[in-house]
Structure 1
Amino acid sequence: MQKRKYRLIELIILAAFGVFIGVGFGSSIHASSSYYTTNPGIIKTKKAVVYYRDAARKVKDQTVAANHFAKISNVVTTDGKAPVLETNTGRFLTASKQFVVKTTGYQNPKRYYQVQYNQIKPFGKVGYPVKRGFEGIKTWYIMRKMGTFSGYDKYNQATYNAVKRFQRRHHLKVSGNVNEQTWLKMGFSKRAWTGIDRYVAPLKAHAWDGRSAHIEAMIHQAYRYLGNPYLVGSSSSPRYGTDCSGLAIQAMYAGGINPLPVSSIHHAYPGNEWNSRNLWASKKFKHVAYSHRQRGDLVFYYQPGTHVIWHVAIYLGHNRVIESWPPKIMIQSIKNGQRSDVAGVARVFD
């Protein structure tokens, strides 16, 4: 009985000493609560961390700074050694909770627009009829068909009258408005009737990607429109042109931002001609000083001589922006002879 008692005391002392040397002196013995032993899913670094090419962590790959995100595919444990995390890119890093923390992924602060990781669904009716005052791609097609387009795609009185004549000739209900039946009779496709409205830029950044990746997703989408014509009220596929805010809307969709109540579908509706003003007025963007502008920010401009917002562009860095400005979507200096009165800068990704 006495021997068993001494043996128990001995084991307790050895266990305590083992924990001490494991934690205090970096032995292969480790406290499991200090490490991720099951897959945390997505992690963010709390401080600078080294990536390795092998699970034994002998071959260094690179060092990443704090606030770096990664998707974890596996937790690897080797006999007598602390577990390590394997990323979806096949690299390895520490599983120590002192260095990495489990997270749901990159996100803006709650008071700003939240980054979405499911395909964005803009507000509005897909397949809307086109009436007086409407703008956008469908109006552009209709006006060209009716011979009333002269560079500005707004459904005007001349277009309304031309559509009524067309409807009479083809024994359609005479309304002056273009519904799906009139659209099809004009020779346009059923697919285009809804497809133009429905287009939403695909998400190009994941929850395990950081801020920079979201900014690049946004800018990459904007680049897809380069050279397309400036068309008011337009925010659809890169097959077509856009206006300034229409370009910004689709770019933000690609980065995971849905800037409601602004919507690509309603962008063609009367009252949405100046969505640049609605974006500027939103309290869900972080507004920063012009001197603090960064790549991916939205730059807003005043109409000369007024304090009325009339334009928005996407900042690329090095005093360059990508924008839709007559006659086309292009890369320009942040200030030029056409628009130089900067109202301010809004940060999409904080």
Structure 2
Amino acid sequence: MKLRVKLAFLLGIGAVLGTGVGIGTANASSFTTNPGIVKTKKTIRLYKDSARTAKAALVKKGNFLKINDVVKKGNQVTALETNHHQYITANRAFVAKTKGYQNPKRYYQVHYQQIKPYGQVGYTVKRGFEGIKTWYIMRKMGTFGGYDKYNQATYNAVKRFQSRHHLKVTGNVNEATWLKMGFSRKAWTGIDSYVAPLKVHAWQGRKAHIEAMIHQAYRYMGNPYLVGSSSSPKYGTDCSGLVMQALYAGGINPAPISAIHHAFPGNEWNSRNLWASKKLMHVAYNHRQRGDLVFYYQPGTHTIWHVAIYLGGNRVIESWPPRIMVQPIRNGQRSDIAGIARVFH
């Protein structure tokens, strides 16, 4: 008698969980409407057909899948169809509805819509400003000597230019002066407003977010180091300017640290602001992983002066004079590592 009861119990469990790796059967605990995005609670099997007879790959616990449709046979749910036209169990014991991949609440949250520019688009350029607009202005005025900071010589040259062209003489470059210099209205706002396109989706996991970030950084490879710059890959950047655009591509908005403000006086060292942010988790050097940020001290001090993106294999991608490049994590120019900060968890 006891044997029959035990056998009946086991058969009941089998009916709920099915056989094999996360096959499952449709029942009251199955999804009946499209959950949108699911996260695997256990290792499950992908199938090539809705009847789930032709096996495809395994999906490990903790992964995300985009669901296109709930497949039914009569009134019975038989499977969930993914956006890649493969099929998984609809059983809630194996998959859970979720909003998608996300960091813990105390850290920078992952965005799934294009990040908007933070700051004034079309700002007037003044003494002390850096960045791409300053770089253009200094080259036009003949005052660029390799360092794009709006200095007194540039200020004086702009005043003379404004006087010659019957503009209001301020020494600052507003839109009217910019246009008279021969630059376009599109560039006046476009340089400021560029935010790297979001290259990853909510239903993709940590690895995809890291790769989106690194892919954006590689788009700047070979471009010149330009202080205070963080705009389109057609231009150069500095170290934190490169990191900010890479973060945008991975869905991270570190505002009030921003690409626009990076050109403003006092924002040259956004590597320090990122290091000080409590929304990045600091981890031990020995625990570094691909996609982490590597921060460096200025030699002989405890002042942060550089940040790079760790690629693995003791290599980083960084903007360091004279250009954006891949380098060893330590070299003769900067080797005093302050620590490691993790972006994606």
TM class by smaller structure: over 0.9
Question: What's the counterpart of residue 311 of structure 2?
Answer: 316
Instruction: Report how far residue 33 of structure 1 moved.
Output: 2.4
> Gaps spanning 5+ residues in structure 2: where?
1-7, 19-23
Question: What's the counterpart of residue 250 of structure 1?
Answer: 245
Q: Deviations over 1:235-287 (max 9, x none)?
A: 00001000000000000000100001101011100000100000000000111
Question: What's the counterpart of residue 101 of structure 2?
Answer: 106
Equivalent residue letter for 1:236: S
Matched, 1:43 2:38: yes
Equivalent residue letter for 1:333: P
TM-score by length of 1: 0.92
Select 1:175's aligned residue among 164, 170, 173.
Answer: 170
Instruction: Report how far residue 347 of structure 1 moved.
Output: 0.5
Select 1:128's aligned residue among 101, 108, 123.
Answer: 123
- Is the Cα–Cα contact under 8 Å of residues 22 and 30 in structure 1 kept in the other structure? no
Instruction: Report how far residue 212 of structure 1 moved.
Output: 0.7
* Matches of 1:99 and 1:23, distance apart in 2: 17
Select 1:24's aligned residue among 13, 17, 21.
Answer: 13
- Which 10-residue stretch deviates more, 119-128 or 155-164? 119-128
Instruction: Report how far residue 24 of structure 1 moved.
Output: 3.1
Question: What's the counterpart of residue 225 of structure 1?
Answer: 220
Question: What's the counterpart of residue 279 of structure 2?
Answer: 284
Select 2:92's aligned residue among 67, 92, 97.
Answer: 97
Amino-acid identity (%) = 73
* Matches of 1:30 and 1:126, distance apart in 2: 55
- Is the Cα–Cα contact under 8 Å of residues 45 and 69 in structure 1 kept in the other structure? yes
Instruction: Report how far residue 82 of structure 1 moved.
Output: 5.4
Equivalent residue letter for 1:133: G
TM-score by length of 2: 0.93
Equivalent residue letter for 1:151: G
Matched, 1:267 2:256: no
- Is the Cα–Cα contact under 8 Å of residues 244 and 259 in structure 2 kept in the other structure? yes
- Is the Cα–Cα contact under 8 Å of residues 122 and 258 in structure 1 kept in the other structure? no
- Is the Cα–Cα contact under 8 Å of residues 136 and 234 in structure 1 kept in the other structure? yes
- Is the Cα–Cα contact under 8 Å of residues 36 and 83 in structure 1 kept in the other structure? no
Equivalent residue letter for 1:63: L
State the secondary structure of the residue aligned to 1:33: coil
Which runs of structure 2 are paired with 1:34-73 in the superposition (5 Å)? 34-73=29-68
- Which 10-residue stretch deviates more, 48-57 or 80-89? 80-89
Equivalent residue letter for 1:97: R
Question: What's the counterpart of residue 153 of structure 2?
Answer: 158
- Is the Cα–Cα contact under 8 Å of residues 37 and 83 in structure 1 kept in the other structure? no
Select 1:196's aligned residue among 191, 194, 208.
Answer: 191
Assess, with a 3 A threshold, how the Cα gap between structure 1 residues 292 and 230 changes in structure 2: closer, same or farther: same
Q: Deviations over 1:210-231 (max 9, x none)?
A: 1111111101110100000000
Assess, with a 3 A threshold, how the Cα gap between structure 1 residues 21 and 79 changes in structure 2: closer, same or farther: farther
* Matches of 2:41 and 2:79, distance apart in 1: 16
Instruction: Report how far residue 57 of structure 1 moved.
Output: 1.3
Equivalent residue letter for 2:123: Y
* Matches of 1:224 and 1:262, distance apart in 2: 21
- Is the Cα–Cα contact under 8 Å of residues 44 and 60 in structure 2 kept in the other structure? yes
* Larger-Rg structure: 1
Question: What's the counterpart of residue 292 of structure 2?
Answer: 297
> Gaps spanning 5+ residues in structure 1: where?
1-18
Please report the RMSD computed on the Cα atoms of aligned residues, expressed in angstroms.
1.7
Matched, 1:332 2:321: no
Equivalent residue letter for 2:323: K
* Matches of 1:101 and 1:313, distance apart in 2: 36
Question: What's the counterpart of residue 144 of structure 1?
Answer: 139
State the secondary structure of the residue aligned to 1:34: coil
- Is the Cα–Cα contact under 8 Å of residues 213 and 247 in structure 2 kept in the other structure? yes
* Matches of 1:250 and 1:330, distance apart in 2: 15
* Matches of 1:53 and 1:224, distance apart in 2: 36
State the secondary structure of the residue aligned to 1:72: strand
Equivalent residue letter for 2:194: Y
Q: Deviations over 1:57-102 (max 9, x none)?
A: 1211111111100110011123597521110011111111111000
- Which 10-residue stretch deviates more, 78-87 or 33-42? 78-87
* Matches of 2:46 and 2:185, distance apart in 1: 52
Which runs of structure 2 are paired with 1:80-91 in the superposition (5 Å)? 83-91=78-86
* Corresponding pairs, count: 332
Question: What's the counterpart of residue 342 of structure 1?
Answer: 337
Q: Deviations over 1:115-163 (max 9, x none)?
A: 0111111321000000000000000000000000000000000000110
